């Protein structure tokens, strides 16, 4: 949704169940947001938060620059060289000052969503995710594990939710995966749909295709290593741990040994 008024534009981006509003007088930035988050722009008015967003001239960050996330004075402060976010969940508002770059916006949004999800029993996961036959499957792994590879090998009946960052949320007695615009090397937004999660795979590239059972304790540890979370706030850290334990008790976890051939999809149905 885009509203003109006071020389500002308002854009609402909904990922999963979380709708965030962005107001800006920078029409170039607004155009970038509309293009980058195509498929996730909505008319939703029940916003989790509304942000004033503006751009500044700042080059790309280096690999050495880390994100700082802290809770102070009833608000989150999130900083990196190319963006700064101030967000008060209680008031439902905030400000973002960022480089005029989709990479800065993506990073800021990922952290905002990770914090919002943590508080309600969910998380963002370094994982590709798809829907097949009405069920969602997750393929977790660090960079180079094969998330984009397995996504690119998917047959036509598979709906891509993400090849990089998956949005996971508990709903009722089960967990559900939603599409995201957070892309990896595939460079394509996921579909803005969702489905209950059937299985979690940890990707292991191999010479042949095979599923191998993963014990619960090991699965929790490996899941936690792939969850996007930057805060050191003790209560929220504990909540993320509890969610990971609960998730593994609800969703089967397996290693997926696979070779980069379409035949691996014979195991996923």
Residues 17-73 pLDDT 10s: 999 999 999 999 999 999 999 999 999 889 999 999 999 875 555 545 789 999 999
The band of 6, judged by pLDDT with boundaries at 50, 70 and 90, is low
- Residue 2, pLDDT score: 41
Nearest C-alpha neighbor of 168 from the set 228, 103, 234: 228
73 to each of 11, 77, 85, 88, 114, how far by Cα in Å?
27, 10, 14, 9, 20
Query: Taking residues 101-123, what's their average pLDDT?
Result: 94
Query: Taking residues 210-215, what's their average pLDDT?
Result: 95
Residues 154-204 pLDDT 10s: 999 999 999 999 999 999 889 999 999 999 888 899 999 999 999 999 999
Within the chain, what is the greatest distance between any pair of CA atoms?
60
Query: Do 195 and 138 contact (CB within 8 A), yes or no?
Result: no
Average pLDDT, the chain: 92
Say how far apart CA 194 and CA 29 lie, in whole Å.
29
CATH of domain 122-267: 3.90.228.20
Exposure string over 159-196, b if 16+ CB within 10 A, otherwise e: bbbbbbbbbbbbeeeebbbbbbbbbbebeebbbbebbb
- Residue 3, pLDDT score: 46
Domain limits of the chain? 4-118, 122-267
Is residue 228 scored above 50 in pLDDT? yes
- Residue 94, pLDDT score: 97
Instruction: State phi, psi for 153 to the nearest 5 degrees.
Output: -90, -5
- Residue 104, pLDDT score: 93
Return the HEC string of 52-115.
Answer: EEEEECCCCCCCCCCCEEEEECCEEEEEECCEEEEEECCCCEEEEEEECCHHHHHHHHHHHHHH
Is residue 115 scored above 70 in pLDDT? yes
- Residue 142, pLDDT score: 80
- Residue 58, pLDDT score: 58
């Amino acid at each position: 949704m885009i509203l003109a008024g006071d020389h500002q534009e308002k854009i609402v981006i909904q990922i999963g169940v979380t709708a965030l509003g962005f107001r800006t007088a920078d029409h170039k930035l607004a155009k970038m947001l509309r293009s980058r988050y195509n498929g996730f722009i909505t008319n939703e008015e029940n916003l989790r938060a509304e942000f004033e967003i503006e751009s500044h001239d700042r080059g790309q960050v280096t690999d050495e620059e880390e994100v700082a996330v802290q809770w102070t004075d009833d608000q989150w402060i999130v900083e990196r060289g190319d963006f700064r976010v101030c967000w008060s969940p209680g008031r439902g508002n905030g400000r973002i000052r960022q480089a005029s770059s989709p990479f800065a916006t993506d990073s800021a949004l990922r952290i905002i969503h990770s914090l919002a999800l943590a508080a309600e029993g969910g998380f963002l996961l370094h994982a590709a995710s798809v829907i097949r036959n009405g069920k969602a499957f997750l393929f977790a792994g660090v960079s180079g594990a094969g998330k984009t590879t397995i996504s690119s090998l998917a047959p036509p009946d598979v709906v891509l939710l993400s090849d990089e960052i998956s949005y996971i949320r508990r709903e009722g007695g089960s967990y559900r995966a939603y599409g995201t615009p957070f892309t990896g090397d595939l460079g394509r937004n996921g579909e803005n749909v969702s489905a209950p999660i059937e299985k979690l795979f940890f990707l292991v590239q191999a010479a042949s295709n095979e599923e191998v059972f993963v014990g619960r304790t090991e699965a929790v540890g490996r899941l936690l290593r792939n969850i996007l979370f930057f805060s050191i706030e003790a209560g929220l850290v504990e909540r993320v741990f509890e969610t990971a334990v609960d998730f593994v008790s609800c969703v089967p976890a397996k290693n997926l040994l696979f070779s980069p051939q379409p035949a691996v999809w014979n195991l996923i149905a």
